């Protein structure tokens, strides 16, 4: 454990705040898109929920790749 660099808490707090803000926006918009498409095409509640889940997963995947890029540009280890 002594070979690891100490945590830069300023960058760590920035990344946590970024994950909360972007995650809320991205996953929320994805969920709304699934709901809207299910309702627009009148696919019924079951298919609408499937659309919502698929779009939420796409939102989480997008958040994962966004956070990978953010950590690469703003590392939290000194």
Task: Give pLDDT, residue 1.
Answer: 56
Whole-prediction pTM: 0.86
- At 5-48, the pLDDT tens digits run 899 999 999 999 999 999 999 999 999 999 999 999 999 999 99
Task: Give CA–CA dist 12/57, Å, rounded.
Answer: 25
Task: Give pLDDT, residue 2.
Answer: 62
Task: Give pLDDT, residue 38.
Answer: 94
Residue located via tokens 């002594």: 2
Task: Give pLDDT, residue 5.
Answer: 87
Q: Which of 3, 28, 22 is nearest to 36 (CA)?
A: 28
Helix (H) or strand (E) holding 77: none
Contact present, 35 and 51 (Cβ < 8 Å): yes
């Amino acid at each position: 454990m002594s070979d690891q660099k100490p945590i830069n808490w300023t960058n760590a707090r920035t990344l946590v705040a970024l994950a909360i803000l972007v995650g809320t926006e991205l996953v929320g918009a994805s969920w709304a898109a699934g709901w809207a498409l299910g309702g627009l095409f009148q696919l019924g509640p079951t298919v609408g929920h499937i659309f919502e889940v698929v779009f939420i997963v796409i939102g989480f995947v997008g958040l994962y790749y966004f956070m990978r890029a953010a950590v690469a540009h703003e590392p939290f280890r000194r």
